Amino acid sequence: MKIMKCLLFLVIVSCFGMSLILTPFTVGFAATITPNPVSQDTKLITIKAGDTLWFLAGVYLKDPMLWGQFKQYNHFTDPDLIFPGERLLVPTTFQMPADSVRNIVDVLQKPVVSAEVIKEIQTKLEEAGVSLVSINKMVGAFEVRVGVLENISSGLRDQVKAGDDRYAKTNAKINQNTNHLNELTDKVAENQSDMQAEISSVLSQVSDLQEKLGSQQQTITAKIAADTQLIVQRVEGNQAVMSGLKQKIEAEQGPMEELSKGKRKFVALTTVLGGFVWFVVNVFGGGN
């Protein structure tokens, strides 16, 4: 916040100073002197650096207080502003007006400075002294703020310099990568024709393989069809044989069922007889 106030103060002071510096120039462009026609009792002079109407009135009119008499001989857009190189019409012979003579006599008879004026001047000088002290304090505070701003400015300059260094390094890396990329691009361009030739060769080989596969596929398809037809014929023959066997089995199924019943009876009797023999052997044989 203090820095912002200091900057604002600097801006205001700068604007005020620039206005004071530029105001005379801007006003001076419009200030001109237009002399009346030269007569027998007048002449034209050229204003030099440092001349004022007050000074010229003392030379040509014998009294600086009579500088307003020049308006009788010239037209001024602004009599307070005259510039070197301008032309001014002045009288060659001039008689001081009686009123001016009386005014001079009155002025000479009066005291140069009255006691009241002297006291007022002393008071103003004392006030000016106090103001000067205040101004000195303000200047001191301003110098402190300027020192702070200089430190901040120095830090900012260091940061800007560091940023410039980083930018230079980054730019160098970018240039290096760009050169590397250009080299890779050149290599790719050189190898592109070879790659295109290889791709064309591979495509030609693929086309040949496709043609061979197409012819082989037709041959395999025909062979599969023939084998399928042969298998179908064999299956149909086997089905006929199986049908004949089924008929024979059905014709022989009746006698086989009767034979199976006799076998079951024989097995049952044999089992019963074997059990009886085992019982007899165990009972009587165990007694001995």
What mean pLDDT value characterizes the chain? 76
Burial 178-217, CB ≥16 within 10 A → b, else e: eeeeeeeeeeeeeeeeeeeeeeeeeeeeeeeeeeeeeeee
Distance in angstroms (rounded) separating the CA atoms of residues 55 and 61: 10
Band (pLDDT 50/70/90 cuts) for residue 29 is very low
Distance in angstroms (rounded) separating the CA atoms of residues 255 and 116: 174
Residues 16-30, mean pLDDT to the nearest whole number? 48
Residues 35-43, mean pLDDT to the nearest whole number? 92
Interval 145-169: pLDDT, tens: 777 778 877 777 888 788 788 878 8
More confident residue, 202 or 27: 202
Residues 120-128, mean pLDDT to the nearest whole number? 78
Q: Where are the beta strands (DSSP E) in the chain?
A: 33-35, 42-46, 74-76, 87-91
Query: What's the confidence (pLDDT) of residue 70?
Result: 93
Distance in angstroms (rounded) separating the CA atoms of residues 65 and 56: 10
Interval 59-105: pLDDT, tens: 999 889 999 999 999 999 988 889 999 999 999 887 766 666 556 65
Give the burial class of 259: count Cβ atoms within 10 A of its Cβ; 0-12 exposed, 13-18 middle, 19 or more buried.
exposed
Distance in angstroms (rounded) separating the CA atoms of residues 8 and 145: 12
Distance in angstroms (rounded) separating the CA atoms of residues 249 and 269: 30
Distance in angstroms (rounded) separating the CA atoms of residues 69 and 63: 10
Query: What's the confidence (pLDDT) of residue 126?
Result: 76
Query: Checking DSSP bridges between strand 42-46 and strand 74-76, what pairing results, if any?
Result: unpaired
Query: What's the confidence (pLDDT) of residue 87?
Result: 94
Secondary structure letter of residue 33 according to DSSP: E
Interval 188-233: pLDDT, tens: 788 887 778 887 887 888 788 888 878 888 887 888 788 778 877 8
Band (pLDDT 50/70/90 cuts) for residue 182 is confident
Q: What are phi and psi of 88, to 5 degrees?
A: -130, 130
Residue 15: helix, strand or coil by DSSP?
helix
Query: What's the confidence (pLDDT) of residue 35?
Result: 94
Band (pLDDT 50/70/90 cuts) for residue 24 is very low
Residues 6+ apart with CB under 8 A from 3: 148, 149, 152
Helix, strand, coil proportions of the chain in percent (round to 5)? Answer: 80, 5, 15
- Contact yes or no for 68/37 (Cβ under 8 A): no
Query: What's the confidence (pLDDT) of residue 107?
Result: 55
Band (pLDDT 50/70/90 cuts) for residue 143 is confident
Residues 116-131, mean pLDDT to the nearest whole number? 75
